[in-house]
Every structure is written in structure tokens, then in C-alpha cells.
Amino acid sequence: MSTISVRKSDSNGQMASAAVPSVSPNYGSPRTAAIAAVTNYHPKSPPLSFVETPTQELFGANVFNRSVMKDRLPKWVYKSVVGTIESGGPLDPSVADIVASAMKDWAIEKGATHYAHVFYPLTGATAEKHDSFLTPDGDGSAIAEFSGKQLIQGEPDGSSFPTGGIRQTFEARGYTIWDVTSPAYVLENPNGTTLCIPTAFVSWTGEALDKKTPVLRSMQALNKQAQRILKLFGHVDGAFVSSTAGPEQEYFLVDRHFYFARPDLFTAGRTLFGAAPPKGQEFDDHYFGAIPERVLAFMLETERELFKLGVPVKTRHNEVAPGQYEIAPIFESANLATDHQQMTMITLRRVAEKYGMACLTHEKPFAGLNGSGKHVNWSLGSSSQGNLLDPGATPHDNAQFLVFCAAVIRAVYKYQGLLRSVVASAGNDHRLGANEAPPAILSIFLGDQLTDIFEQIEGGGAKSSIEKPPLTVGVDVLPPLPMDAGDRNRTSPFAFTGNRFEFRAVGANQSIAGPLVAMNTIVAESLDFCATKLEKATGGDSEKLHEAVQALLTEIIKEASPVIFNGDGYSEEWHAEAERRGLLNLKTSADALPVLKEPQIEALFEKYGVLSKRELESRLDTYLEQYCKSVTVEANLMLEMSRTLIFPAAVRYQNELASTCTNLKMLGYEFDVDTLDKMTELVKGLQDSTNLLDKVLSSGDHEDGIAEARYFCDEVIPLMTEVRRYADELEGYVADDLWPLPTYQEMLFIK
């Protein structure tokens, strides 16, 4: 390194000799290389043609669905399998060999070499274990085999999945069990395909080690209680009442070059540093705007892949923040929707890679911009009764609807804490309770019409439904539209949206299984409460039903009305008002997760056969552990990036300023040292806060998981915010050519 000799005046006014190295800018930095690569992007693969293969032909092409089964299975087997799917009744094990053989032939025709039991561990991820169809036949060759037993049951060595203490590694036995209600499918890879079989994952004692088993159990519980209500209203056809779910997935896309130039993005899925860009989302010019070409190409291929897997994706659009998008399917039964949602996340990530981008499903990849949620639209219905949350044209007259709707309101009121805890994660804490939509306070948006009806009920009986005049726009060529009975409210964590509820607090990175299990179970409990009251009041006499319903609804609404709020959920007034109403405001995971330990919650899950006390404890342990691990990883990353990327860049620039100052002074010029002072202050702040974070991170001895989560939440995270504050301010001073990390501006706007 070349050095120049300068003389610095010491306190006695004499010139001291010092060596000040000249600084060369780091032009080959990953950041500049990334920018060059992004602007030179060309698609790698030839364009897709929907003319050659129309979407109708693609949809479900890789799914062992009902029509394939109808073609390939003997009639009695087909009937038996479909019967189980529709009624939720037990599966006849004698069909397994026949189904397995048909499935294998079908999959091999589609190029499959292996089969995989796919399961959903408590991490929220999707896991699979692949086995070849081939078995040696003893004569030196091999035959393709797949028995009913192999279809029904697998034994992955799942000892390294978190089980929250249910299983120790020495008793690692766990089984995967075929879930006939979620169809098998063939997953493509350029070098072959795999037959995938959705399964439940349980311990050798039958305890649920996964996310699917409780979903199935909660659906069963919901059906049982819904049937009792339907029976009171004279519907006894017994068609399975299923909970339905339509999850809207928000995500960000960034170019992979930027992604890999940011250790925080590729390791933690979010930026731990980054100053606000001069232009963010304030112009709302991205929301619903024209979709950029590369992004649209990515969306078309993602949808095409999902179509093949039978995932009914329907909607795509830009979201509020720059670089943010949404994909939403048509709703399906909760279990299937959950599996399909997992496939959607995997497919988004996989296809993004192909288009040179990274798909970020973290809840808050970029500070200061909107985070990503997963709005879970939820309802319940059956093949004979349709959607049970459809109010019809005159909801005040629709007693059955009102009972189901009131049951949901009561459930949300009574189990606010549980609903908050099932969306708790380190990532989602950056949305909920962090001045972003939706707030951590659980409330229900009902809309004017329903609110009015429930108010009338509370006042003695509902006589009318507010009707809106047709919508007039004042332009003759536009057709008249009926006005919706309720407006929309984007700030509510739990909103009635015409014929379903939308749970908006769910995090973008989460499995929707937990939220669905909670909703199904609390509504089952509420329906149980309603049915018991109504059965008692009517004593089997349907003449008395109307009066009994009026009494029940009045009781529910008197108790649960504090949870109804149609105003602006972001406002400060609401926070104060919610407190007056006695609603919970569990701001962080450390506040929310311990709800799972409450006796009321344990009793709830136990009573409806959804989770035993031990199973619930195992979930709490796992989620606490995941929370602490996520924060630990982020804090360690922060230390590393602060010390090896940001601090070096800052001192280089500081040195550059200092040497300029010295040199100019030597030549007799004045040099204003304001910037140098500021840099020195920030560098010191960065160094001190980083060292303190390091210290706090490596200390602490905790009694249990709850205490540990509390420690991370109260001690570690605030220091991380501190370190970031210095780093982000430094980004505004350090010479651009020295700054090592792609900036928000670059990641969000260079496409």
C-alpha cells in the first residue's frame, strides 16, 4: 500500500510525523457487480406457450385426482375412497393395495422413479423422504413395487425435527400416515419425477408431531358441532361440514445478485440494515400497477406449475410496497388449502430462482415498508348447505346464519389471546404490534349492515337489514351495480368480508395450519355452546327455536360486543379505546406465546380432541425455541455484518476524511470537520452498541423457554435496533463507492 507522509500538529504546535494511507475505492465490490448483473438480465429459458398447452389441460395434470381414480380404480374401491373423503369417515384398509398399485402405474407413466411421503413438521416447513420404487428380485434385476402398506405408512427417521420434548432422539420412532383427503401428485424435476403422498406425521404412541394431524382433528370437531346446529334448523342430511380456507400470500421479489450480496437476506430472509430510500411507497404508485415483465413471466410460470399440481390459483397483483406482490387461490377445504399453500410457497421460491430472483416470504424484509401477511379467508360449509356464513339477501331473517356468525364473534372474543398466539413469530412481531397493519389487538370488523342487525338484536329483535341503493357513477355508459352492504376495512385483523371472515394477522412465512386449527377449534367450542343452549331451550320443539335463538344471540352479543370494531385499527385512539374495552394487546411473541399454557386453552384443545396437554406443551416449547433461535441467528448476523462490513467501510471513509483534513491543513487550508466529527461519533456508537449486543447475547441463564424468549425480546432486540440505528445513519454519510451492501433503493427499484 502506498503511503504519504504528513505532519500533524501536536498539542505544542509542533509538527509530528504520521503515515496516512491513501484509500482506494472498492470498485469490484459484490454490490457493484450485482448492479451490473441485474441490469444485464436476460431470460434463460425459452418462453412458455399457453397456446400449445392451454391452462385447462394443465390443471391437475399431475394430480392423482378423482377423475384419474375413477378411470383407474375398480368401482367399489373408487366409491370407498371418495366416501371417506366426503364423509370424513374411516378409511377401509383393504383398498390400500389396489390404490397403491394404480397410483404407482400412473406415476411411472409420468416418469416417476421414486415415491415420497410428504409431511409437515412443527417448523412450518414441508419435509419429504424419497424411496425408490425399485426392489431387487433376487435374479440380478429389479422390479417396480409399491404396496398398500408402503402407501399407508412410512417411517422417516425424523429424529432431528423439533418435537418439543415429545420424542427424544433415542426413541425416534415416528410414522407418516397417508392422508387420503389430500390427493397424491407427481412433482417434476428436469431429471425425473417423484410421486408425492401427503401424510400425517405421528410418534409411535400416536401423538401428533406435525401440523396436519391437528388440522384434521379440528375439522372433525368443527363438523360434529356444526351438525348439531344444522339439526336444530331441520337439516339432517349429514353432509360433512368442512372449514374452508383461501389464503392470500404476499411476498417480495429481489434480484438474486442483490440477495447474495446481502448476508442478512439470504441467511435471515430480511434486511437487518438499510437506510430508508429517498422514495418508498408514499406515492402508492406500485399498488395494483402494471406488473414488470420479468415478474409477470415469473408469475405465469409459477401459476402454470401450481395448476399442474391442482392448486387453484386465481389472483395476482402488485402489493403496496415496491417489489411486493400477492398470489391468491380459490378457497378449498382447510386441509387441502393448507397443503396447497405449502406447495405455493415452495413453488414461488423455486420459480423465482429460475428467473434470477429471490422470493422473500419473510413478514418484514424491509424496514419502513409494508410487511407481508397471509390473509386467511375462513368459512365453513357443506355440499348440501353451501357456505354457512353466507348472509343471504335479508340477513336479519336468516337465523341460521346469525347463529353461525354469532358463534364466530363469541369465539374470537373469548379466545383473542389464542388467535394472537397462533400468529406469533419473531418475523411477524415486526408487523403486529409494531405500528403496522394489522395491530396486535384482535377485533372484528363486521361492516354496517351486520353491526346494525346485531345492535337491533341487542335492543330486542332484528326487524330489517340496511339496504343500499344501487351504485350510481354518473356515467351513462357504465352499467349500474348493486352497492355492497358493507365497505371494506383493511386495518382490521379479523374482518367479515361478505360471506367469510378474513384473518389478516397471519404472517407471510407461516404455515396456515396453526391459525386454521385455532379457528376451527374455537368455533367448534362456540357452536357447542350455542347448540347446548338451543337444545335445552327448545327441548326438541322446533316452535320454540325462534325465541331461543333470539335469547342466545342477545346473550352472545351483550358479552362479546367489545370485540366488534369497524373503525381505523391503526389509530392511536383505537389502542386507548381497546384498553378501555378490556381487549388484550399482546405486542410481542414473548407476550403472546405463553397463552398456550393457560388452563382454559389446554382444556379447549383437550375437550375437542385436537391436542392433548402434552401435544400442546410440545408446540409451545417448539415455538419458543424457534423464536429464540431466529433472534439469535439475526443477532449473530448483525454482529458479523456490523464488524466485517459496515465498520470497515465506515473507518475507511473516516480515514479518508481524516487524511484529507490533515493534508489540507498541511497545505494551509481550513477543513470543516463537521462530517468527520459526525462519522467519529457514529463509528463509536456502532462499535459500542455492537460490543454491547455481543455481551448481552452471550450472557443470560434462563429458567425456561418463556423466560428466554422474554430475555431476547426485552434485552437483545432493543440492542439490535440500536446497532441498526447507527449503521443506517452511517449509510447516509459513508462514500457510496465504499458502502458494501446493496441499498434499499437498488434492491427495490432496479429490476
DSSP structural state of residue 628: H
Give least dist CB 248 to Mg ion, A: 5
Nearby residues of 32 by Cβ (< 8 Å), 6 or more positions away: none
Q: Does 382 bind ligand ADP (CB under 6 A)?
A: no
Q: Give the x/- contact pattern for ligand ADP in 335-374, rule: CB under 6 A.
A: ----------------------------------------
Give least dist CB 493 to ligand ADP, A: 14
Contact predicate 682/690, CB 8 Å:
no
Q: Does 500 bind ligand ADP (CB under 6 A)?
A: yes
- Give the footprint of ligand ADP on residues 384-403 (CB under 6 A): 387
Q: Which residue has the cell 423466560?
A: 707
Looking at the DSSP bridge assignments, the partners of residue 20 are: 4
With left for phi above 0 and alpha for psi between -120 and 50, is residue 478 left, alpha or beta?
beta
Looking at the DSSP bridge assignments, the partners of residue 379 are: 244
Fill in the amino acid letter for 272: L
Q: Does 379 bind ligand ADP (CB under 6 A)?
A: yes
Cα–Cα distance for residue pair 602/604, rounded to 1 Å: 5
Give least dist CB 531 to ligand ADP, A: 22
SS (H, E, C) 497-550: CCCCEEECCCECCCCCHHHHHHHHHHHHHHHHHHHHHHHHHHCCCHHHHHHHHH
Which residue has the closest beta carbon to ligand ADP? 246
Burial class for 6, CB neighbours closer than 10 Å (0-12, 13-18, 19+) = middle
> Cα 356 to chain center, whole Å?
23
H/E stretch holding 293 reads helix 293-308
Question: Dihedral of the CA atoms 136, 137, 141, 142 (nearest 10)?
Answer: -50
Contact predicate 329/336, CB 8 Å:
no
Give least dist CB 468 to ligand ADP, A: 17
DSSP structural state of residue 595: G
Nearby residues of 207 by Cβ (< 8 Å), 6 or more positions away: 166, 612, 614, 615, 618
> Which residue, 377 or 510, has its beta carbon nearer to ligand ADP?
377
Entry field: residues in the chain: 751
Q: Select the binding partner of residue 245 from ligand ADP, Mg ion, none (C-beta < 5 to 8 A, by kind).
A: ligand ADP
- Give the footprint of Mg ion on residues 246-265 (CB under 5 A): 248
Cα–Cα distance for residue pair 366/372, rounded to 1 Å: 10
Give least dist CB 633 to ligand ADP, A: 33
> Which residue, 195 or 380, has its beta carbon nearer to ligand ADP?
380
> Alpha-carbon Rg of the chain, whole angstroms?
30
Q: Which residue has the cell 396486535?
A: 440
State the Cα angle at 364 between 363 and 367, rounded to 5°.
170
Give least dist CB 92 to ligand ADP, A: 30
Q: Select the binding partner of residue 121 from ligand ADP, Mg ion, none (C-beta < 5 to 8 A, by kind).
A: none
Give least dist CB 446 to Mg ion, A: 18
CA 183 vs CA 247, 307, 443, 489, 666: distances in Å? 19, 14, 36, 36, 79
Q: Select the binding partner of residue 60 from ligand ADP, Mg ion, none (C-beta < 5 to 8 A, by kind).
A: none
With left for phi above 0 and alpha for psi between -120 and 50, is residue 461 left, alpha or beta?
left
Among 621, 624, 596, 424, smallest CA distance to 509 is for 424
Q: Does 246 bind ligand ADP (CB under 6 A)?
A: yes
SS3 151: helix
- Total number of residues binding Mg ion (CB under 5 A)? 1
> Which residue, 71 or 484, has its beta carbon nearer to ligand ADP?
484
Query: Of 69, 81, 254, 328, which one interacts with ligand ADP (CB under 6 A)?
Result: 328
In terms of DSSP H, where are the helices of 581-666?
Answer: 589-592, 599-607, 613-641, 647-666
Among 708, 712, 710, smallest CA distance to 697 is for 712
Which residue has the closest beta carbon to Mg ion? 248
SS3 263: helix
Give least dist CB 334 to ligand ADP, A: 9
Query: Of 99, 196, 232, 245, which one interacts with ligand ADP (CB under 6 A)?
Result: 245
> Which residue, 149 or 488, has its beta carbon nearer to Mg ion?
488
Q: What is the largest CA-CA distance in the chain?
A: 107
> Which residue, 55 or 315, has its beta carbon nearer to ligand ADP?
315
Q: Select the binding partner of residue 511 from ligand ADP, Mg ion, none (C-beta < 5 to 8 A, by kind).
A: none
Give least dist CB 452 to Mg ion, A: 24
Q: Select the binding partner of residue 277 from ligand ADP, Mg ion, none (C-beta < 5 to 8 A, by kind).
A: none
Stretch that binds ligand ADP, among 92-100, 328-336, 365-373, 552-560 (CB under 6 A): 328-336
Q: Give the x/- contact pattern for ligand ADP in 270-309, rule: CB under 6 A.
A: ----------------------------------------
> Which residue, 244 or 491, has its beta carbon nearer to ligand ADP?
244
Q: Does 515 bind ligand ADP (CB under 6 A)?
A: no
Burial class for 428, CB neighbours closer than 10 Å (0-12, 13-18, 19+) = buried
Among 59, 198, 204, 209, smallest CA distance to 115 is for 198
Give least dist CB 309 to ligand ADP, A: 17
Contact predicate 326/344, CB 8 Å:
no
Stretch that binds ligand ADP, among 58-66, 208-216, 245-253, 567-575 (CB under 6 A): 245-253
Q: Select the binding partner of residue 387 from Mg ion, ligand ADP, none (C-beta < 5 to 8 A, by kind).
A: ligand ADP
> Which residue, 156 or 246, has its beta carbon nearer to ligand ADP?
246
SS3 115: strand
Among 354, 348, 418, smallest CA distance to 616 is for 418
Q: Select the binding partner of residue 240 from Mg ion, ligand ADP, none (C-beta < 5 to 8 A, by kind).
A: none
> Which residue, 320 or 593, has its beta carbon nearer to ligand ADP?
320
Q: Select the binding partner of residue 659 from Mg ion, ligand ADP, none (C-beta < 5 to 8 A, by kind).
A: none
Q: Are strands 444-445 and 494-496 parallel, antiparallel or unpaired?
A: parallel
Query: Of 3, 9, 94, 315, which one interacts with ligand ADP (CB under 6 A)?
Result: 315
Query: Of 244, 324, 338, 489, which one interacts with ligand ADP (CB under 6 A)?
Result: 244
SS3 110: coil
Query: Of 158, 329, 395, 417, which one interacts with ligand ADP (CB under 6 A)?
Result: 329
Stretch that binds ligand ADP, among 59-67, 329-337, 424-432, 711-719 (CB under 6 A): 329-337
Give least dist CB 623 to ligand ADP, A: 25
DSSP structural state of residue 746: H
Q: Select the binding partner of residue 15 from Mg ion, ligand ADP, none (C-beta < 5 to 8 A, by kind).
A: none
Give least dist CB 33 to ligand ADP, A: 39
Q: Does 630 bind ligand ADP (CB under 6 A)?
A: no
Q: Does 330 bind ligand ADP (CB under 6 A)?
A: yes
Q: Select the binding partner of residue 486 from ligand ADP, Mg ion, none (C-beta < 5 to 8 A, by kind).
A: none
Query: Of 133, 185, 240, 331, which one interacts with ligand ADP (CB under 6 A)?
Result: 331
Helices (H) and strands (E) in the chain, counts: 25, 20
- Give the footprint of Mg ion on residues 189-248 (CB under 5 A): 248
Cell of 583: 381487549
Q: Select the binding partner of residue 307 from Mg ion, ligand ADP, none (C-beta < 5 to 8 A, by kind).
A: none
Give least dist CB 284 to ligand ADP, A: 17
Contact predicate 146/606, CB 8 Å:
no
Q: Does 497 bind ligand ADP (CB under 6 A)?
A: yes
Stretch that binds ligand ADP, among 178-186, 325-333, 522-530, 571-579 (CB under 6 A): 325-333
* Contacting positions for ligand ADP (CB under 6 A): 244-246, 248, 315, 328-331, 377-379, 387, 497, 499-500
* Contacting positions for Mg ion (CB under 5 A): 248
